[in-house]
Chain A
């Protein structure tokens, strides 16, 4: 057992444990906070994968914005928080079965893939990954168009969200 492997197992345990709490816990606000724990764990995984930029973006975007948005939504809809009622609907058994099925299916598929136990090759240190990434996002022959489309999508979502959530003034 190497240190990195131990670290990975710790983070994996955190991620899976908190994810399990997200889907089972009764109090919605706790579910949201457990989600934040999961997100931090995933950010740590990114860092372990030498993707520091992704780790930071994960925290800024997910923890700083998305999770906070969830907490807001939960607080705004707290009249019936169902904190006391059962958190799962009556189909949960089937759902659990399907969850297991999907995991089993994915595992079966992956196990048969020949690259299943690949090791990572060393990352060349002379290339600045962030510069590469930034350049790729604004190069027409690379990912400029997807980048622009994503920004338009965000704009549309912004306007749509404001429009949908805006309470119509009845006067």
Chain B
């Protein structure tokens, strides 16, 4: 049997990779991709904790489903914003979008 630690370490690694993507990618869409990786890592944790610690309840799965809904909403709005920015500024490089500076 697989101990819970394997899943947790995998999730932590996936989360860190996603974090790196968010921090380091130039393209705004790629940043969102990183966010998706992080959300997936969270979901792995939720489902794992459900399976290992409280399999008789459904709490973990419900949490994960809510995360799905939030992720879908986040992607829809995020991508709409990116497309809107692309139309107006003709770029989606995060570093070029620096109107809000001194």
Contacts and interface: CB of A to CB of B under 8 A. Distances in A.
B80 interface: yes
Contact of B83 (A49, A73, A157): A73
A60 B15 CA distance: 22
Nearest to A60: B68
Q: How large is the interface on A (under 10, 10 to 19, 20 to 34, 35 or more residues)?
A: 35 or more
Given A19-B37, A45-B44, A119 B16 contact: no
Ranked 5 nearest A-B pairs via Cβ: A23-B21, A95-B23, A157-B73, A99-B20, A95-B24
Given A8-B6, A22-B17, A147-B66, 4 more contacts: A61-B72, A76-B83, A156-B73, A161-B77
Given A66-B36, A115-B4, A133 B20 contact: no
Q: What bracket does the count of chain B residues touching chain A fall in?
A: 35 or more
Interface in B25-75: 25-27, 29-30, 32-34, 36-37, 40, 43-44, 47-48, 50-53, 55-56, 58, 61-62, 64-66, 68-75
Contacts, number: 254
A163 to B, nearest CB: 8
Contact of A35 (B36, B48, B91, B92): B36
A117 B91 CA distance: 48
Given A46-B47, A136-B58, A164-B81, A61 B18 contact: no
